[in-house]
Amino acid sequence: MLAGLAVLAILQCLESTVATQTVLLAAADIDRGQTIHAGDVEAVSVPASDAFAGALRHVADAEGLIARVDIAEGMPILGTLADERPATPPGHTVIDVRLSGGWEGLLPGDAVGLTASGICSAYPADVPNTGETCAIAARAVTMGMPAEPEAGSGTALVPFALPSDEALRILTLQDQGMIVAVTTEERY
């Protein structure tokens, strides 16, 4: 029994001489596009290593970031794995869309529909169209915060990720009518 206690005491002494650092680990699986919250990560002490040079160290550093890739439970949260801006979905491009409304409260990662007025006749027959308004994008991913509204214009530029065909149509027609964002429950 005394020998066991002596070994334990020696190991504790050795452990205290090893340099350590704090690293954030995923407390559960974090999906690509998911916003990271305090409960999704845990701070642990690990032996100091250059392998963890890019790891986030404090819960506050990760909170609110968006996972750019799937992060498995127990994996270190490296700065390259999460960002303030979501990853552009495959097959999409990012453009600034001039919104006439609906930008209040938008956050990076929010999925929205884009609806237009005054330009619907320029859209193909397969686009839902009431004659007055039409859906011009079913799912646009908000890629950044809206720019300050232009003085007196009532509009703001917001970066969205869209499939290329929708992006090209919007770029061609956005100055000819009004476009608003309609929020959905999705986040990316």
CA distances to 20, 22, 112, 139 from 11, in Å: 15, 21, 56, 57
Q: What is the spatial distance between Cα 162 and Cα 141, in angstroms, rounded to a whole number?
A: 7
Q: Into how many domains does the chain fold?
A: 2
Among 83, 117, 143, the domain boundary falls at 83
Residue 7 is part of which domain span? 2-83
If DSSP codes are grouped into helix, strand and coil, which group holds residue 35? strand
User: Are 100 and 157 in the same domain?
Assistant: yes
Last residue of a domain, one of 83, 112, 133: 83
Residue 158 is given by DSSP the state: E
- Shared-domain flag, residues 115 and 140: yes
Count of positions (residues) in the chain = 188
pLDDT digits 0-9 by tens, 50-102: 888 889 999 999 998 888 888 999 999 998 888 887 888 889 999 999 998 77
Same-domain status, 65 and 128: no
* pLDDT tens figures, 156-173: 899 999 999 999 989 988
DSSP 48: -
CATH code of the domain in which 25 resides: 3.90.1210.10
The answer on 96 and 71 residing in a single domain is no
pLDDT greater than 60 at residue 135 = yes
Same domain, 112 and 144: yes
pTM flag (> 0.75): no
Q: Is 108 helix (H, G, I), strand (E, B) or coil?
A: coil
Strand partners, 156: 99
